[in-house]
Amino acid sequence: MDHPVGRRALLTASAALLAVPCRRARAADPPVVAAAADLQFALEEVARMFQAETGQAVRVSFGSSGNITRQIEQGSPVEMFLSADEGFVFRLAEAGLTRDRGELYAIGRIALFSPPGSPLRTEVGMDAIREALDAGRMTRFAIANPEHAPYGRAAEQALRKAGLWDRIQPRLVLGENVSQAAQFAIAGGSQGGIVAYSLVLAPGTRDRGAHALLADSLHEPLQQRMVLTRRAGPGAERLYAYMQEHAAREVMRRYGFVLPGE
């Protein structure tokens, strides 16, 4: 049976439409939402709650923040963008493609994950990677592509700060986004990886290996910002406001995000 992360990773290429409950009238024009891959589980849960409370369906797709940014620049009809790096939102704002500079909705964290049978002793953090390299037991290690995935960039920064980047680089397996990198680590395609903490905490994932939350001092803050584009309609506006309300914030907190003001 496919693992939930793998199934949801397919949303990187195609949007998933959430059905409206029969007890409510169908809302017109479901907002087109694009979100960073670390939000796959958390945002799906928020979208279900939002739909149940408002009757408003949401059409959401996931991918790397860099790739989504390029798609918006090329005319993609995205109405709301939740980025894993606020720099991409600022880039779109400077290009005049958004209503404003958006709102900070979360600060992300990274985690070291190892599947069963891995030589990585996650309980010792980054030293686990050094131990496995010293013992010659590390052949493949997964991270997201740092060129366009903020979580990949954070993983690279952590590995550089630990003095491991040059040694691990030939062994890297790069995911197109952090969800794909997590699938590589979870499914045993590597000895482990550095992925989004939110994906490690997801139902069906947390029991499929060992993990350790890594110190945020190892990388630049993953300041995650959302924004409405110039195409945004009423549905996107309602979801944007809902993301800042208590219920949505509680979901984000449960998936390991640090929230603005906390």
Token representation of residue 151: 């979580």
Domains in the chain and their CATH numbers? 4-107+221-254 (3.40.190.10), 108-218 (3.40.190.10)
Query: What's the chain's average pLDDT?
Result: 90
Q: Is the pLDDT higher at 241 or at 9?
A: 241
Q: pLDDT tens-digit profile of 100-109?
A: 999 999 999 9
222-228 and 80-82 strand pairing? antiparallel
Q: What is the pLDDT of residue 83?
A: 98
Contact of 202 with 6, CB cutoff 8 Å:
no
> Residue 24's pLDDT band (boundaries 50, 70, 90)?
very low
Sign of CA dihedral 43, 176, 185, 146: negative
First to last CA, the chain: 39
Place of tokens 């069963």: 116
Q: How far apart are CA 190 and CA 149, in angstroms?
A: 19
pLDDT of 12 higher than 90: no
Model-level pTM?
0.87
Contact of 76 with 161, CB cutoff 8 Å:
no
Q: pLDDT tens-digit profile of 206-258?
A: 788 999 999 999 999 999 999 999 999 999 999 999 999 999 999 999 999 99
pLDDT of 90 higher than 60: yes
130 Cβ contact partners less than 8 Å away, ≥ 6 residues apart: 162, 164
